C-alpha cells in the first residue's frame, strides 16, 4: 500500500495536466466554445451558451486541426522516404498518432515490453494514453530524473488470469476472488474499479537502492553480483574451498539502484514483481522548462477563439441586415389579393404582383442593404495570417505559393525549407523521443 499510495500521489499531481489536455484536445477537434465564463449576472456558463443567449450562432473555423494535420502529414512524408522495415509493431503508424498526441498535449509515452500476445511473441511497443500514465516530478528534458513511473491497465478477467496465474489453478481462483470483491472507491483515481467485466491493474516502477555483493571468483576468473542475502551461502562455499586448498571468493558490499516493477490491484495486493536496469517506458514532455508542459496547440488557442468570435460577428451582422425586403403600401393592395398571396408571388422568381397605383405615392419598393462590417473582414484575414505565423505553418508548407502564381519551383522549395525551420524544434524533440524508444527495443 505504501507503493500504491505513492503512485496515487503522483497520479493526482498530474490532474491539472490531464484537465488542460482535455481542453487542448477539444480545441484540436473542433469543440471550441466550451470554455467556462462568468456572465454579467454572475452565472457560470460556456462561451457557446452565452453566445446563443445573446442571439448569435457560435460558429467554428477549426484552423488548429488543419495545422496539426499538416505537421503530421510532413512527418509521414518524411518517414515514407526513409527505409522503414515493416514489422508486427507497425511503428510508422504508432509514431504518427504519437506525434499528434505530442502536438496536442506536449506528452509522448510509449511502453516497450517483451511478451507473448495473441498476435505472436516478441518485443511490443504500445502508445500510452496520458490519462492512464503517471510519474514522479520530472525536470530533466531527457526524463532521466524520474524515480517513479507507471500506468493503469483495465484488462479482462481472462487476460489478468493469463498474465499472473502462472499456470496455477489455485492462483487463478485467487485472482478471480480478488476482483470479485473489489469495491469502487475514490472515483477518478488509481483506486477506482474498472468497468464491468474488467480488472484494474496498476503497473508501478520505482527506482530503489538494493544491497548487493560484488563477487570475484579467482577459480573461474568470474566477476559477478548477487543479492546481499546470499552472503552466508558464499561464506559456506569459501569454507569448503579452504578445506580443499582452493582460492576463496572475495566479496565487496555495495548498493546498486534498480527499477522494481510491481503489478498491483486497487486494494494494494501485489500480483507480480520484477527487477530491471530500466523501466519499460519511453518518455518525452515538451518543453519542460521548470518542469512545465506547454504543447504546440496551447499557443494557438487564443487566436483561434478570436477568429471564431469574428466570423460569428460577421454572420450575425449579415443575418440582421435587410436582404430583399419588400415595402408594399397597404392602400395599394389589389382587391383580388391577400397578403399571403403577395408573399408567395414575391418569393416566386417569375411572380407578378398587381397593385392599385395611387397618384403621387411611390409603389412597392425592394430594400437591400449591405451589412456594416466595421473592418471585420480585414480583421479576420489579419488574424488568419497571424495564426499561421504563430503556428509556424506557412502557406508554402501547406502546399500554397506564398507569393502568388508565377514563382519558380526553387523559390517554392526555399520557402518550404524556411517554414520547416520553425518546426525543427518539435521534430527534433520527437526524434529524440523515438531514439529513446529504439534503445528500449534493442535492450528488451
Q: Say whether pLDDT at 396 is over 60.
A: no
Q: What is the mean pLDDT of residues 19-23?
A: 97
Q: How far apart are CA 346 and CA 331, in angstroms?
A: 18
pLDDT in tens, 224-279: 999 899 999 999 999 999 999 999 999 999 988 999 999 999 989 999 999 999 99
Task: State the CB neighbour count (10 A cutoff) for residue 70.
Answer: 17
- CA distances from residue 126 to 90, 146, 177 in whole angstroms, order as listed: 10, 20, 29
Using alpha carbons, select from 111, 133, 154, 98 the residue that is nearest to residue 14.
133
Residue 397 confidence class, pLDDT cut points 50, 70, 90: low
Check pLDDT > 70 for residue 183.
no
At 356 the pLDDT is 79
pLDDT tens per residue, range 60-113: 999 999 999 999 998 998 776 555 555 789 999 999 999 999 999 999 999 999
Q: Return the ∠ at Cα 127 (arms to 126 and 131), rounded to 5°.
A: 130
Q: How far apart are CA 416 and CA 426, in angstroms?
A: 16
Higher pLDDT, 337 or 170: 170
Q: How far is CA 431 from CA 72, 86, 410, 435, in A?
A: 13, 19, 28, 6
The residue ranking higher by pLDDT, 64 or 1, is 64
Helix (H, G, I), strand (E, B) or coil at 90: coil
Q: Does residue 420 surpass a pLDDT of 80? A: no
Question: Does the structure show a pLDDT above 60 at 372?
Answer: no
Look at residue 378 and tell me whether its pLDDT is greater than 80.
Answer: no
Pick the closest to residue 415 from 404, 426, 425, 427 (CA basis): 404
pLDDT in tens, 289-301: 999 999 999 999 9
Answer yes or no: are the C-beta atoms of 206 and 260 closer than 8 Å: yes
304-322 pLDDT tens trace: 998 899 888 888 877 776 6
Rounded Cα distance, 288 and 141, in Å? 6
Amino acid at each position: 500500500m505504501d507503493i500504491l499510495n505513492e503512485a496515487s500521489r503522483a497520479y493526482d499531481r498530474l490532474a491539472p495536466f490531464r484537465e488542460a489536455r482535455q481542453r487542448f484536445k477539444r480545441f484540436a477537434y473542433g469543440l471550441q466554445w466550451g470554455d467556462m465564463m462568468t456572465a454579467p449576472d454572475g452565472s457560470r456558463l460556456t462561451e457557446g451558451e452565452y453566445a446563443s443567449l445573446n442571439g448569435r450562432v457560435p460558429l467554428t473555423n477549426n484552423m488548429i486541426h488543419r495545422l496539426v494535420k499538416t505537421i503530421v502529414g510532413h512527418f509521414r512524408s518524411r518517414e515514407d522516404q526513409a527505409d522503414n522495415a515493416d514489422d508486427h509493431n507497425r511503428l510508422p503508424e504508432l509514431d504518427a498518432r504519437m506525434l499528434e498526441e505530442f502536438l496536442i498535449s506536449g506528452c509522448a509515452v510509449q511502453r516497450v515490453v517483451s511478451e507473448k500476445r495473441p498476435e505472436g511473441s516478441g518485443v511490443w511497443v504500445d502508445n500510452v494514453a496520458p490519462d492512464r500514465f503517471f510519474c514522479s516530478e520530472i525536470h530533466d528534458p531527457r526524463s532521466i530524473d524520474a524515480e517513479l513511473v507507471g500506468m493503469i491497465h483495465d484488462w479482462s478477467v481472462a487476460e489478468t488470469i493469463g498474465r499472473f496465474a502462472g499456470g496455477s489453478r489455485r492462483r487463478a481462483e485467487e485472482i478471480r476472488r480478488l476482483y470479485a470483491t473489489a469495491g469502487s472507491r475514490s472515483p477518478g483515481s488509481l483506486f477506482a474499479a474498472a468497468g464491468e467485466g474488467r480488472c484494474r491493474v496498476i503497473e508501478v516502477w520505482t527506482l530503489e537502492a538494493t544491497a548487493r555483493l560484488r563477487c570475484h571468483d579467482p577459480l573461474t576468473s568470474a566477476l559477478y553480483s548477487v543479492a546481499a542475502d546470499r552472503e552466508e551461502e558464499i561464506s559456506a562455499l569459501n569454507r569448503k574451498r579452504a578445506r580443499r586448498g582452493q582460492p576463496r571468493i572475495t566479496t565487496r558490499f555495495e548498493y546498486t539502484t534498480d527499477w522494481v516493477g510491481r503489478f498491483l490491484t486497487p486494494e494494494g495486493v501485489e500480483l507480480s514483481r520484477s527487477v530491471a536496469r530500466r523501466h519499460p517506458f519511453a518518455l518525452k514532455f515538451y518543453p519542460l522548462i521548470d518542469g512545465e508542459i506547454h504543447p504546440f496547440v496551447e499557443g494557438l488557442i487564443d487566436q483561434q477563439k478570436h477568429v471564431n468570435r469574428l466570423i460569428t460577428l460577421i454572420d450575425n451582422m449579415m443575418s440582421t441586415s435587410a436582404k430583399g425586403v419588400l415595402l408594399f403600401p397597404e392602400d395599394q393592395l389589389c382587391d383580388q389579393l391577400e397578403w399571403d398571396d403577395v408573399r408567395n408571388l414575391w418569393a416566386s422568381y417569375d411572380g407578378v404582383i398587381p397593385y392599385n397605383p395611387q397618384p403621387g405615392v411611390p409603389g412597392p419598393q425592394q430594400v437591400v442593404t449591405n451589412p456594416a462590417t466595421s473592418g471585420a473582414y480585414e480583421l479576420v484575414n489579419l488574424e488568419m495570417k497571424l495564426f499561421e505565423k504563430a503556428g509556424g505553418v506557412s502557406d508554402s508548407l501547406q502546399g500554397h505559393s506564398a507569393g502568388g502564381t508565377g514563382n519558380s519551383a526553387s523559390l517554392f522549395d526555399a520557402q518550404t525549407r524556411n517554414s520547416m525551420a520553425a518546426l525543427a524544434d518539435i521534430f527534433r524533440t520527437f526524434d529524440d523521443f523515438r531514439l529513446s524508444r529504439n534503445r528500449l527495443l534493442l535492450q528488451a
